[in-house]
Amino acid sequence: MWAALRARMREVVWPIIGIAAVSYFAYHAVEGDRGLLSWWRLRHEVETATEVKAELAAERQRLEQRVRLLHPNSLDPDMLDERVRLMLNYAHPGEIVIPTGRIPAPEPAEGTR
């Protein structure tokens, strides 16, 4: 009786070990650190980073253009006027100033009003 039970167990144990090994590797192929879900998550992060990089490159290009306009060798009068008005809270007499709330106005210096 024990010999028959032992032979039967041998027939059952190896398939169970095989199924367990296949299950282990299948689980880690999907859920593991280098599995499919991690790959999809990393791909999404790369796409997001690429979009942010493009936005930052456009912003940098815009700022570089503004800096070029303020360079002493090629000073743009409109850019200079804009910066003076913003930094010094300056306006010509008779101009109507409508605050939009987009750019906080600097505090006026003493004696300018």
User: Which tens digits make up the pLDDT trace of 1-48?
Assistant: 778 888 888 888 889 999 999 999 999 999 988 899 999 999 999 999
Q: What tens digit of pLDDT does each residue of 40-79 get? A: 999 999 999 999 999 999 999 999 988 887 777 777 777 7
Total number of residues shown for the chain: 113
Long-range contacts formed by 13-18: CB under 8 A, 24+ apart: none
Give the confidence band of 104 by pLDDT, cuts at 50, 70, 90: low
Q: Which residue has the higher pLDDT, 45 or 82?
A: 45
In 10 A of CB 70, how many CB atoms? 13
Q: Is the pLDDT of residue 100 over 80?
A: no
> What pTM, to 2 d.p., does this model score?
0.50
The backbone torsions φ and ψ at residue 82, rounded to the nearest 5 degrees and listed phi first, read -65, -45
Give the single-character DSSP code of 93: T
Give the angle subtended at the CA of 65 by the CAs of 59 and 68, to the nearest 5°: 140
The reported pLDDT for the residue numbered 108 is 60
